[in-house]
Amino acid sequence: MEDDPLVRWAITEALRDLGVAVAEAATADEAWEYLNTGAEVDLVFTDYRMPGSMTGGQLAARVNEKHPNLQVIITSGYADRDEHATPILTKPYELLTTAATLAHLAARNGRTHNDAPEPKACSSPG
């Protein structure tokens, strides 16, 4: 999830170039709604500061509670690392390196069958 459309576009395109299916969200509320549809998601990458009723940190806490096997990574230039058990990637980050790491994590967290669809990251960053 990322509220800045240019940042969201950059990371989602980098992930798509690596073969990752990406579901984008501009707010944590939008992402939470998507996750509650039952869609298969292998990884959540979210900005910490988000508009709406919850932050990326609050979204991570909800995801950890309801979907304990779903990995969440928070990115921020502001979040306090001591506030969250969730990994925090400091902004600014290197786009291609971050995309490659996220693609690897999504594949590792995802389905392992040969007929499984490509890994999906519920999108993100900034």
Q: Is the pTM of this model over 0.85?
A: no
Average pLDDT, the chain: 82
For 61, other C-beta atoms within 10 Å of its C-beta total 16
Distance of alpha carbon 110 from alpha carbon 74, whole angstroms = 19
Give φ, ψ of 57 to 5 degrees. Answer: -65, -40
Residue 13 has pLDDT above 80, yes or no: yes
Domains and CATH numbers, the chain: 5-122 (3.40.50.2300)
Residue 115 has pLDDT above 60, yes or no: no
Better-scored residue on pLDDT, 65 or 121:
65
What pLDDT, on a 0 to 100 scale, did the predictor assign at position 103? Answer: 94
Tens digits of residue pLDDT in 57-74: 899 999 999 999 999 999
Least confident of 15-24, 26-35, 49-58, 86-95: 86-95
Residue 119 has pLDDT above 90, yes or no: no
19: Cα separation from own chain's centroid: 16
